[in-house]
Amino acid sequence: MTTHKKPAPGGNRAGSKTAFDSPHSTPTDPLPDTAAYCAGTIKRTRRTAAEVAQLDAQIIDVLTVDHPQSVRHVYYRMTDPRLPEPVPKTDAGYRTVQNRCLLLRRSGAVPYGWISDMSRQGHFVNTFNDGADFLSRMSGLYRGDLWRDADVRCEVWCESRSIASVLLADCRELAVDLYPCGGFSSVSFIHSAAQEHNGSDDGRPLQVFYIGDYDPAGVLIDASLEKELRAHLSEDIELRFERIGINTDQIAEYDLPTKPRKDTDRRSSQVERTVEAEAMPAHILRSIVRDRIESLLPADALAVSKVAEQSEREHLRRVARMMEGGRI
């Protein structure tokens, strides 16, 4: 299992060099600052060009070392008061980071793929010239059953699409279904997910790992999700449900930024201070999730599966070439 260490305060300092440095790690000219003004007669202090350049350098450093990340993950890294140019833990601070990430991508200083966003997705229809074209183009998508010899089946649920966007690549590699439930999930969504298991039950338990905010609502979401899943799964399927983030131990271990709970929120009185899941640095969150998933797989299952998949894909490509040549 990986040993998780506290993240370095705020990532790399501007101008520092790491093994992950890119040609764009320090912008030569600061992008224009577009900070807004508050309503009324009191004007917000505008950042100087040097302060904007410093904030940009901090964002680039954090993304160079660890990508992809959602804008909200980057924002929380920028709230570290130990940074040369931190942003406030306010909506205005978030909008500042959001705007800088946009301008850095448009300038080419940050690749677009380094910022993840699952909030908007297209729906596509794949078409093919013929069967040979289908086999040739789809051969790379072939996946073996990584979990065939595992004692359990596994899936990951998370509170938001923002969290899902940084976990998607690892879940795909490990052949684990990923469900962003968007807060208190709809019954239809949970029922549909449960039917995937009800229709193909093989007697193995289902292990669900959950990641969500630690706040008065967040600690109720996973309890509600577990209850609904149990209601829609077949009675003979054993459900093992575990919240692996965010919890009180992680808040202390990783020194995660907190906010006081709202006085008007009467739910979950034991939660005194709140933490969004995005406050956990993305690389640490991915490592925690990946470690828990891999602990359920047989030894070397991933390596063995990749070798077998490569062989099967090449076979499909050979068949496609034979179809193109009229030999099939």
Q: How far apart are the first and last CA of the chain?
A: 49
pLDDT digits over 214-259, tens only? 887 888 899 999 999 999 999 989 999 999 999 999 999 999 998 7
pLDDT digits over 62-82, tens only? 999 999 999 999 999 999 999
Give the chain's domains with CATH numbers.
17-115 (no CATH), 150-297 (3.40.1360.10)
Whether residue 194 is predicted with pLDDT greater than 50 in this model: the reply is yes
Whether residue 14 is predicted with pLDDT greater than 70 in this model: the reply is no
CA distance 87 to 71: 13
**Buried residues in 49-63 as b, exposed as e (16+ CB within 10 A):** eeebbbbbbbbbbbb
Confidence of residue 308 (pLDDT cuts 50, 70, 90): confident
Strands 259-260 and 153-158: unpaired
What are the CA-CA distances from residue 245 to residues 74, 213, 215, 242, 313 (Å)? 18, 8, 12, 9, 37
pTM of the model: 0.75
